[in-house]
Amino acid sequence: MEATIEWKTKEEGGRLKPPHGEGVPPYATMVRFMEPNDPWPPESAWSLVVEKKAELDPHHWVANIRFLVENAPKERLKPGQRFELYEGNRCVASGVIS
């Protein structure tokens, strides 16, 4: 799937700079899907792999995304789905699936 991702700046509570987003190992971190009935923190967490496809500017990317593991809930990856990326308890980015 493809998504547009906006990385939070350090001043916004995000990262000093976005991850490299290319190469091996790929960037993977915990995802939170922005749905009203989803508990937070979740009972089980999933890791999303983010691979930069194009850089619109240093904090805005178009990226390919996928779950890190095969048995993840792939039905959650659908066009229009909004999500946040977390490193520990810190939200570092938000995105929407194309």
How do residues 65-95 score in pLDDT, each as one tens digit? 999 999 999 999 999 999 999 999 899 999 9
Residue 82 to residue 58: CA distance in whole angstroms: 20
Q: At which residue do the structure tokens 């922005």 appear?
A: 34
pLDDT tens-digit map of 9-29: 999 999 999 999 999 999 999
pLDDT value at residue 41 = 77
Predicted TM-score (pTM) of the model is 0.93
Residue 31: partners with Cβ closer than 8 Å, 6 or more residues away: 45, 46, 47, 48, 83, 84, 85, 86
Strand, helix or coil for residue 73: coil
Residue 43: partners with Cβ closer than 8 Å, 6 or more residues away: none
Q: Which domains does the chain have, with CATH numbers?
A: 2-97 (2.40.30)
For residue 8, is pLDDT > 80? yes
Do residues 51 and 64 lie in contact, with contact meaning Cβ atoms separated by under 8 Å?
yes
